[in-house]
C-alpha cells in the first residue's frame, strides 16, 4: 500500500484557518490555498462546511459515478491530519489546530492527570468501559477555542450542526433541512455540519460493498437536493479522513508485546500509543518486527517529534505527557485492537494514502 505522511500546509486544519481568515480572524496556522481561492472569488453570504465522516477520496472514486454531483464538483484533494481519524481531524476543522497543538489525538488518549486511557467523546475509561463521573476529562484538561465561537466573537453568526449537538437532527435529511433554513436567513454566516456516515456503515460492513455504496450515493443525492435550494452560498463538502478494509489482530494475543507495556495502548488500532517498561525497549521493537513486519512501523517519541508527525508549531503542554515512548503506526492494511470483541471491517488512522487523502467538493450558488 502507498504510504503518505500528512501535509500540514494543505490539510483539514488549514481549511478551518481559511474560514477564519474569511471572517476577519487571525488563524492559528496557515490557510489552505485551495479554499482561499474559492473564498476569494466573491463574498458569499453563507459559507457552509459539511464533513461526511470517512468519505475520503478513495471512497468517492470507488463508490460514486464519475459524472455524479460530488465528482463533478470536485475542486481538488488535500490531506487529513495524523492520525487520520475522527477525533483528531474533526477537532482540527473545529479549531484550526493540528493534533499536537490540541492534544485531541484519537479515539482514546492517555490522561496522566487521572492515570487512565479515556475515550475523548464519551468520557469513558477505555480499558474498563466505566463511565467517568463529573466533567469531561478531555474538555477539562485539553480545552480548545472552537471556530464557531471565534466567528461569533467577531460579530458574525455561526452554527454548529451534528447529530450529537442541539437541535439533534434525527437523520441526514433533517440536517440538510436545517442548513437550508439557516442559509435563508439574513446576514453573513458560517455553518459547520458534521454527519457520522459513511464511516459508521464502513466500519461495520466494509468500504466498497453494496451497503456502503448505497449510503454514499444517498448522501450525494440529498446534498444535491439541498444545494439546489441554496443561494448566495459557498458549500464545501469534505471528509475528516479516508477509510480502508482492514483485517484485525488483538494485542493481548501477543504476550511478548504485552509484557513490555506499562498500560494498554491508546489512540487508535492503527496508531498504537505505547508506554514501555524500563529496559524493555529492544524487546518491544523486536516483538513488533517479528509479528508485524511490513504491517506496522515503530517510531520512538523523539522520531515522532522530529518528524512533526502530529503537526507543526508549538505543541500543547499536555502533548508530551500523553504521548508514549513509542508509536506503532500501520503502514499496510492490518489493525491491532485492544479487545477481541471489536468486529470492525473498515478502519482508518494509519499512514496509507487512502486514509490520508480527502476531497474538497465545492458548490457555488449565486
Q: Is the pLDDT of residue 122 over 90?
A: yes
- How many alpha carbons lie under 13 Å from residue 182 in its C-beta half-sphere? 25
**Predicted confidence band at 281 (pLDDT cuts at 50, 70, 90)?**
very high
pTM for the model stands at: 0.97
Q: Give percent of the chain with pLDDT exceeding 90.
A: 97
Look at the chain and count its residues.
366
Q: Is the pLDDT of residue 307 over 90?
A: yes
Q: Which three cell numbers stand for residue 158?
A: 455561526
- The string of DSSP codes covering 159-174 is EEE-TTSTT--SSHHH
Q: Which three cell numbers stand for residue 132?
A: 467517568
Residue with cell 503542554: 317
Output the CA–CA distances (angstroms, integers) from residue 63 to 71, 208, 361, in the order listed. 11, 7, 15
Instruction: For residue 65, give the 3-state DSSP assignment.
Output: coil
pLDDT 10s digits, 198-237: 999 999 999 999 999 999 999 999 999 999 999 999 999 9
**Which whole number is the average pLDDT over 66-82?**
98
Q: Is the pLDDT of residue 343 over 90?
A: no
**Which whole number is the average pLDDT over 34-51?**
98
At 56 the pLDDT is: 98
Output the CA–CA distances (angstroms, integers) from residue 304 to 264, 275, 298, in the order listed. 20, 14, 10
pLDDT 10s digits, 85-96: 999 999 999 999
Q: Which three cell numbers stand for residue 194?
A: 458534521
- Element holding 179 (H helix, E strand): helix 172-183
Count helices and strands (H / E) in the chain. Answer: 16, 17
Q: Is the pLDDT of residue 315 over 80?
A: yes
Residue with cell 474559492: 38
Main-chain phi, psi angles of 42, to 5 degrees: -165, 165
- How many alpha carbons lie under 13 Å from residue 23 in its C-beta half-sphere? 27
Computed over every residue of the chain, the mean pLDDT equals: 97
pLDDT 10s digits, 130-178: 999 999 999 999 999 999 999 999 999 999 999 999 888 999 999 999 9
DSSP 8: T
Amino acid at each position: 500500500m502507498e504510504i503518505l505522511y500528512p501535509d500540514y500546509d494543505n490539510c483539514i486544519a488549514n481549511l478551518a484557518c481559511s474560514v477564519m481568515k474569511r471572517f476577519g480572524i487571525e488563524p492559528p496556522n496557515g490557510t489552505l490555498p485551495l479554499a482561499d481561492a474559492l473564498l476569494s472569488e466573491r463574498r458569499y453570504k453563507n459559507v457552509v462546511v459539511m464533513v461526511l465522516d470517512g468519505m475520503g477520496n478513495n471512497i468517492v472514486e470507488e463508490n460514486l459515478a464519475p459524472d455524479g454531483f460530488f465528482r463533478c464538483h470536485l475542486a481538488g484533494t488535500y490531506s487529513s491530519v495524523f492520525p487520520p481519524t475522527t477525533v483528531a481531524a474533526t477537532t482540527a476543522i473545529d479549531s484550526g489546530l493540528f493534533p499536537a497543538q490540541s492534544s485531541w489525538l484519537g479515539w482514546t488518549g492517555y490522561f496522566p492527570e487521572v492515570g487512565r486511557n479515556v475515550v475523548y467523546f464519551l468520557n469513558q475509561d477505555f480499558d474498563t468501559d466505566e463511565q467517568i463521573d463529573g466533567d469531561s476529562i478531555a474538555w477539562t484538561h485539553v480545552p480548545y477555542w472552537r471556530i464557531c465561537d471565534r466567528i461569533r466573537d467577531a460579530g458574525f453568526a455561526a452554527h454548529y450542526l451534528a447529530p450529537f449537538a442541539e437541535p439533534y437532527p434525527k437523520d441526514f435529511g433533517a440536517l440538510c433541512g436545517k442548513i437550508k433554513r439557516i442559509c435563508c436567513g439574513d446576514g453573513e454566516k458560517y455553518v459547520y455540519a458534521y454527519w457520522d456516515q459513511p464511516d459508521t456503515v464502513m466500519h461495520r460492513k466494509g468500504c466498497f460493498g453494496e451497503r456502503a455504496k448505497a449510503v454514499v450515493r444517498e448522501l450525494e443525492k440529498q446534498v444535491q437536493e439541498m444545494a439546489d435550494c441554496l443561494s448566495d452560498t459557498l458549500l464545501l463538502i469534505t471528509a475528516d479522513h479516508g477509510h480502508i478494509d482492514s483485517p484485525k489482530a488483538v494485542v493481548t494475543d501477543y504476550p511478548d508485546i504485552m509484557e513490555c507495556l506499562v498500560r494498554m495502548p491508546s489512540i487508535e488500532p492503527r496508531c498504537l500509543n505505547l508506554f514501555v517498561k524500563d529496559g524493555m525497549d529492544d524487546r518491544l521493537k523486536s516483538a513488533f518486527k517479528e509479528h508485524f513486519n511490513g504491517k506496522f512501523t515503530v517510531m520512538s517519541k523523539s522520531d515522532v517529534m522530529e518528524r512533526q508527525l502530529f503537526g507543526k508549531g508549538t505543541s500543547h503542554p499536555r502533548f508530551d505527557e500523553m504521548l508514549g515512548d513509542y508509536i506503532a503506526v500501520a503502514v499496510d492494511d492490518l489493525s491491532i485492537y485492544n479487545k477481541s470483541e471489536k468486529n470492525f471491517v473498515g478502519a482508518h488512522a494509519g499512514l496509507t494514502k487512502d486514509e490520508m487523502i480527502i476531497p474538497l467538493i465545492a458548490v457555488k450558488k449565486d
